[in-house]
Amino acid sequence: MSQFEFISSSEDHPGSSSATEEEILAKAAHQALSERPRISVRLRISLVFLLCFLLTSAITVALIILISRISERQFFLETVANFHFEILQARRFEKNFFLYDANLQDALDQITKAKTILETYEAEIQSVIGNEDFEKMRSSLEQYDQQLHHLFRLRQDSSLQRSKEQEIIEKELRAAGTQILQYAADVILQERYRMHTLIHTSTLTATGSLVLLLLLMIYMASFLARQIVRPLNRLERHTQRIAAGDFSPILPARKYRDEFSNLTIAMNTMVYELKSHQEELMQSRKMAAVGTLTAGIAHELNNPLNNISLITESLLDDFDDYPENQKKKMLGDIFTQVERASGTVRNLLDFTRMEKPAFVSLNIKEVITATLKLITNEAMLNNVELELDLNDDLPLIKGNSRNLQQVFLNIFLNGIQAMPTGGKLSIHAAKTDERLIRVDVKDTGSGISAEHLDKIFDPFFTTKEVGMGTGLGLSVSYGIIEKHNGKISVQSQEGAGTIFSVFLPYTMNHTK
C-alpha cells in the first residue's frame, strides 16, 4: 500500500467500520497536503544559489569591463605621452637648428610621427578636449609643420633676406610649439583625471558588490532557516505530541508541497498505522482479560461446586453409615464451600458494580488507621513489622470510606502474604505538587516478576495457591481508585520487595 492510499483503505482495519471524526480530519489533512502546488525545497535552494551565481557573474562582468576600460585609457594616456614626447623632441631639434644650424630633418620626422598619432587617435583626443581645441591643436601642428618645411627650404638660401625671414619663422614656430605642448599636456591631465574616476568607480563597485553579497548571504541563511529548520522544529513538536499519545494528524502549514509535506504525509500514515495497531493491541488485551476472567470464574466456582457435589454424593450414598459428628462436619464443609463460592460472587459483584458509591469528605489518615486495625493480628502472626509515617496536615479527600478501606486492606494483605518469613510493611502518605495525596505501601517481600507485573491488575490473575487468592483484589482496587479519580501504580523488584502507590485527588487544603 502506498503511503498516500492509507486513508482510503481504512475500512480494512479492525474496529473502523464507519468514518470517525479523526478519520475525516486525517483524510482532509492528507488531501490538503497532496493538493498543494509542488515547489520543492531543493528547487528553492537551487534558485537562491542560481540568483547568487547570476549576481556574482554580473559583478565579475562589470569589474572586467571596468578593468578593460582602465587598460584602454592607460594605453591612450601612453599614446598622448608619446605625442607630447615627439613634439618635445621636434622642439629640441628646432632649437639645435637655431643655435648650431643643425639638421632640420630630424625635427620634421618627429612632427610626421606626431601627426600620425594625432590622426590615428583623432576621435579619442576630440572626446577628451572637445572639437574646438582639437582643431586648434591640429592647426597649430599643421602650422608648425609648414614653418619647419619653410625653414628647411630657406636653409638653401644664404641671402640677408633669409636671416630676416628666419627670425619671423622662429617666433611663429615657438608660439605654435608651445601651444601644441600646452594642448598635449591638457589631454594628459584630463585623461589622468578620467582614469582616476574609473579606478574610483571600480573600487566602489567592488566594495558595493561585497556588501551586496554579504546581505545576500545573510538573507540566504535566514531563508534556509525558514525553509528547513522551522519545519523540522514543527515536526519535532508533533513527534513529541504523538509520543504523548495524541494521534491526531499533522495539518499542512506551508503554501506549497515540498519534501516536508511528503514527510508529513508519511508521518500521518505512520501515526494512523500506529493508532490502528494500538487499538488492535488493546482489543487483544481485552480478549485476553476476558479469557482470564472467564477461566477464573469457572475455576473459582467450579472448585467449591465440585467439592459440594462430592460431599453431597457421599452423604446421599452412605448417609445412614456416617456417624452424627461426621455428618455435621460434612455439612459444615458444604457450608464453607458455599461461602467460598458466594465470596467469589460478592467480589465479582464489587468488581462489576457500575454505580458510584456515596462520596463524603474523608481524612485518609483515618481510613488507613482503621484498615491497619484489621491486619494487626495477621502482621503479628507473620512476624511482619508495621511502620507508619502519615503527615498530620494531610488535606481532606472526597471518597467512600468502605471502598477505600477495601483497597488498602487488599494491598496490606498482599504485602503481608508476600513476606511469609517476616519483614517490614511501611506506609507513608504525603501531598504531591499536583494536588494529590500519595500513599506508598512498601513491603520487603518476594517482589513481582517483570513478566507478571503488567498482569496483576487483570481480574482473576493470581499466583497464589488455590483457595488462597481469587485474583480479584487488585482489579477491584483499581476500579475503586479510578472511581475516586485517582490512580494506582506499582514498582517491584523480584526478591527485594514491592511498593504500591495510591494517588487520590484532594479538594480542600485543610485537615478535618
The C-alpha cell at 81 is: 605621452
Nearest residue (CB) to ligand ADP, 252 versus 415: 415
Q: Taking the complex as a whole, how short is the minimal distance between the CB of residue 27 and ligand ADP, in angstroms?
A: 44
Q: Taking the complex as a whole, how short is the minimal distance between the CB of residue 474 and ligand ADP, in angstroms?
A: 3
Q: State the CB neighbour count (10 A cutoff) for residue 459.
A: 25
Residue pointed to by grid coordinates 620634421: 108
Binding map of ligand ADP across residues 456-485, x = CB under 6 A, - = no contact: x----xxxx----xxxxxxx----------
The b-or-e profile of 32-67 (16+ CB within 10 A means b, else e) is: ebeeeeeeebeebeeebeeeeeeeeeebeebeeebe
Torsion of the alpha carbons at 61, 67, 71 and 72, rounded to the nearest 10: 50
Choose one: 29-37, 99-107, 182-190, 441-449; the region binding ligand ADP (CB under 6 A).
441-449
Nearest residue (CB) to ligand ADP, 469 versus 505: 469
Q: Taking the complex as a whole, how short is the minimal distance between the CB of residue 446 and ligand ADP, in angstroms?
A: 5
Question: Please, which residues have CB within 8 angstroms of residue 46's CB and are 6 or more apart in sequence?
Answer: none
Task: Return left, alpha or beta for 353; rule: phi > 0 is left, psi -120 to 50 is alpha, else beta.
Answer: beta
Inter-residue contact 362 to 399 (CB < 8 Å) = yes
Chain positions 416 to 435 lying near ligand ADP, rule: CB under 6 A, are: 418
Binding map of ligand ADP across residues 215-254, x = CB under 6 A, - = no contact: ----------------------------------------
Q: What are phi and psi of 361, to 5 degrees?
A: -70, 130
Report the residue from 110, 269, 414, 444 that binds ligand ADP according to the rule CB under 6 A. Answer: 414
Decide if residue 268 touches ligand ADP (CB under 6 A).
Answer: no
What SS3 state is found at 321? coil
Report the residue from 79, 110, 261, 410 that binds ligand ADP according to the rule CB under 6 A. Answer: 410
Report the residue from 90, 407, 448, 480 that binds ligand ADP according to the rule CB under 6 A. Answer: 448
Rounded to whole angstroms, the Cα distance separating 147 from 71 reads 37
Decide if residue 93 touches ligand ADP (CB under 6 A).
Answer: no
Choose one: 47-55, 111-119, 237-245, 409-417; the region binding ligand ADP (CB under 6 A).
409-417
Decide if residue 446 touches ligand ADP (CB under 6 A).
Answer: yes
Rounded to whole angstroms, the Cα distance separating 203 from 185 reads 27
What SS3 state is found at 8? coil
Nearest residue (CB) to ligand ADP, 182 versus 294: 294
Instruction: Using CB under 6 A, count the residues that bind ligand ADP.
Output: 21
Report the residue from 443, 480, 484, 502 that binds ligand ADP according to the rule CB under 6 A. Answer: 443
Q: What are phi and psi of 397, to 5 degrees?
A: -120, 165
Q: Taking the complex as a whole, how short is the minimal distance between the CB of residue 297 and ligand ADP, in angstroms?
A: 14
Rounded to whole angstroms, the Cα distance separating 86 from 114 reads 6
Residues that bind ligand ADP (CB under 6 A): 410, 414-415, 418, 443, 445-446, 448, 456, 461-464, 469-475, 498
